[in-house]
Amino acid sequence: MPPYQRGAALHGMGAAIEYAVRDLKVDHIVVLGHGHCGGIKALLNAADGHWPDRDFIGDWVAMALGACKHYVRDDDAEGGRREVSIARLKANPDLVERAAILGSLDNLMTYPWLAARVEAGDLVIHGWWFDIESGDLWATEPGRRQLLPVD
């Protein structure tokens, strides 16, 4: 989900979310990601210098790189947090798949009329990640930014 941005470009995702939130008045929004995601693989390749030879896909998947850098961190020797190398992320794409979901939840909250409904307790946004290998579903608790396996 891209962040809130008005202006010249056509925003298909923004229009879909606006219609759902302001007109249909949905009660829940689920951002569903999954294992073995080709989009995340393309993101990691782009971040590693191999931009896809496509018109739209590179910019679209690169949108998740900020979330990846924010949510996938490693402890350093001084007890702080540091960025994880692209090589390590490529070896653990599930971390990036889940980070992209959390980034989409953050981006959803940049839509002012959506955030107002969430803050009023009138709309709940959920992150879900489907593990294709095991069949497990991971989910966020409402209001939290951590994906955990569902019992």
Residues that bind Zn ion (CB under 5 A): 37, 39
Structure tokens at 27: 């009660």
Query: Of 124 and 137, which has the nearer Cβ to Zn ion?
Result: 137
Query: Of 4 and 129, which has the nearer Cβ to Zn ion?
Result: 129
Query: Of 37 and 72, which has the nearer Cβ to Zn ion?
Result: 37
Query: Of 39 and 66, which has the nearer Cβ to Zn ion?
Result: 39
CB of 78 to Zn ion, least distance (A): 36
CB of 35 to Zn ion, least distance (A): 9
Q: 99: number of CA atoms within 13 Å, CB side?
A: 24
CB of 38 to Zn ion, least distance (A): 6
Taking CA atoms, 119 is separated from 81, 110, 124, 129, 142, in Å, by 29, 12, 9, 24, 11
Q: Which residue is nearest to Zn ion (CB)?
A: 37
CB of 22 to Zn ion, least distance (A): 27
